[in-house]
Amino acid sequence: MKLEQVEIRSGAGTVRLVGHVTWRGRTDELYFEYPEHQAAFVSARADGFAAVLLPAAMRAGEDLEIVPPVSPSLAFSLPRIRDAFHCWHPDELARIALDLTSRPKETPPDPRRAATFFSGGVDSFYTLLKYLRSEPLPVPLGHLIFMRGMAFPLESGAQVEAGVRSVSEVAARLGLEAVVGTTNLRSVFPEPFLMWERHFFGSALAGTALTLGGGFDYVCIPSSFT
């Protein structure tokens, strides 16, 4: 599996971060799309794609090559994350080889914003209220993130739009801003190839957060299984 390049496309009121992925003899355009007025949040780095492609490559049994450079911390961590995944699921996620390069270390900017993923469930509300009220983060928690195509595949139209309405209502009531994006991640890597709850949701959420690295210093991922 190979991430050839990453590009940003703008138009029709949206900004789309696209990764060109070659695997199993074909090329797919994997994307994360956000409203145009939130374009400054989007990072044109390869980091988010590297995070989501790791379990997909392991499941396919293909070595993973990331052509654009990734952050030093991600370059250091990915081999260790691979080993953890393989330890958890040795018969399902192969211990593949990784080919990636690290970009120069950058001085992080002053803290700016924090966000949390929000699907409307108990874990989402717990994380939101915890960091909004009882244990504030070092920077203000001002955004909720909801992705079409993540909690439910894009093909589940009615459920997806119900989630959008829910997160928008909660954000409005709490004086927060909703970041409602769209990804084809679960369409490119559908079940049963990658089982969402068993293999994929942690990497998918982490990867999405990295695609928003231009706007957020902290992104909370609500817990799920132990």
pLDDT, residue 161, reads 80
Is the whole model's pTM more than 0.85, yes or no? yes
User: Which pLDDT tens digit goes with each residue over 156-213?
Assistant: 777 778 888 889 999 999 999 999 999 999 999 998 999 988 899 999 999 999 999 9
Give exposure, 31-60, as e/b (b: 16+ Cβ within 10 Å): bbbbeeebeebbbebbbbbbbbbbbbbbbb
User: Which pLDDT tens digit goes with each residue over 6-35?
Assistant: 999 999 999 999 999 999 999 999 999 999
Judged against a pLDDT cut of 70, whether residue 109 lies above it is answered with no
pLDDT, residue 220, reads 96
Task: Please report which confidence band the pLDDT of residue 226 belongs to, taking 50, 70 and 90 as the band edges.
Answer: low
pLDDT, residue 158, reads 73
Question: Token digits for 83?
Answer: 């080993």
pLDDT, residue 162, reads 82
Judged against a pLDDT cut of 70, whether residue 125 lies above it is answered with yes
User: Which pLDDT tens digit goes with each residue over 33-91?
Assistant: 999 999 999 999 999 999 999 999 999 999 999 999 999 999 999 999 999 999 999 99
State how beta strands 14-23 and 2-11 pair. Answer: antiparallel
Question: Token digits for 159?
Answer: 């459920």
Task: Please report which confidence band the pLDDT of residue 155 belongs to, taking 50, 70 and 90 as the band edges.
Answer: confident
Q: What string of H, E and C letters represents the secondary structure of 11-71?
A: ECCEEEEEEEEEECCEEEEEEEEEEHHHHHHCCCCCHHHHHHHHHHHHHHCCCEEEEEEEC
**Of 152, 190, 199, 168, whose CA–CA distance to 54 is shortest?**
199
Contact of 187 with 8, CB cutoff 8 Å: no
pLDDT, residue 111, reads 63
Task: Please report which confidence band the pLDDT of residue 105 belongs to, taking 50, 70 and 90 as the band edges.
Answer: confident
Q: How far apart are CA 129 and CA 136, in angstroms?
A: 9
